[in-house]
Amino acid sequence: MALLIFVRHGQSLYNLENRFTGILDVPLTDLGKEQAKLAGQKLIGYDFNIAYTSMLTRAQESLQIILREMQVTIPIVKNSAFNERMYGSLQGLNKDETAKKYGFAQVDIWRRSYDICPPGGESLLNTYQRVVPYYKTVIEPKLKMGQNILLVAHGNSLRALMMYLENINPLDIVKVNIPTGQPRVYDFTDEIKIVAVKYL
């Protein structure tokens, strides 16, 4: 048996300001730090072998807060495979103002569709194409060895992984929203078949 638990980072400054964040490196808000702290409290008692995160501050800071709250020290691997989806020329723009400029329907397509890219940015499909190979080559072998893995990353990189793990199709993934700071637990057999999935 092995566990994979992922957590979307706590609220960031651009989440609060309703801006497209993408790969811009913005910090957590006070609420975001509190969300990470609560996630850590929920994870007390779980035993992890290693943690993974992105190259972005908001995910790394969330992970540090979680581990501090759990009072554990484990190896941490940072990799750009888990970075947030790159939103191109939309990055830093207010979402409401962008919707007024381009139309709500167009912005919704850019934000939620599977294979349509925002201007100069990545689609969820592009994100999937970097997240899932990394998962298969680096994380899955550790799960097969019975190791427990903690992953702290971003809404879209985690949606891409969730799509793969739970066999969610491109039409249904557009409806999925991963809450900030809420651990999602995957319980696997030795053959990496999912036994149970739940939010804590």
The enclosing domain of 43 has a CATH number of 3.40.50.1240
How far apart, in whole angstroms, are the C-alpha atoms of residue 43 and residue 66?
Answer: 8
Q: Which residue has the tokens 């680096």?
A: 138
Instruction: Locate 69 and state its tokens.
Output: 């709250």
Q: Which of 61, 84, 122, 154 is catalytic?
A: 84
User: DSSP character for 85?
Assistant: P
Strand 50-53 with 76-78, pairing = parallel
pTM over 0.85: yes
Select from 1, 46, 3 the least CA-distant residue to 165: 3
82: containing domain: 2-199
Nearest to 6 by CA among 117, 116, 156: 156
Residue 163: both structure tokens together: 């799509």
The tokens of 166 are what? 């739970």
Total residues belonging to the chain: 200
Nearest residue to 198 via CA among 182, 177, 184: 184
Residue 1: per-residue pLDDT: 86
Number of structural domains the chain divides into: 1
Report which secondary-structure segment, H or E, holds 109. Answer: helix 104-112
3-state helix, strand, coil in the chain (%, to 5): 45, 20, 40
Residue 6 tokens read as: 């992922």
- Do 67 and 75 meet the contact criterion of CB atoms below 8 Å apart? no
Pick the catalytic residue: 9, 61, 122, 154? 9
Residue 128, pLDDT score: 98
The answer to whether residue 154 is catalytic is no
CA distance 68 to 43: 11
Q: Is 9 assigned a catalytic role?
A: yes
Q: Can you give the pLDDT at residue 190?
A: 84
Q: Which of 153, 150, 146, 160 is nearest to 192 (CA)?
A: 146
CB 200 within 8 A of CB 43: yes
Per-residue pLDDT of the chain (200 residues; tens, 9 = 90+): 899 999 999 999 999 999 999 999 999 999 999 999 999 999 999 999 999 999 999 999 999 999 999 999 999 999 999 999 999 999 999 999 999 999 999 999 998 889 999 999 999 999 999 999 999 999 999 999 999 999 999 999 999 999 999 999 999 998 899 999 999 999 999 889 999 999 99
Q: What is the pLDDT of residue 112?
A: 86
pLDDT at 83: 98
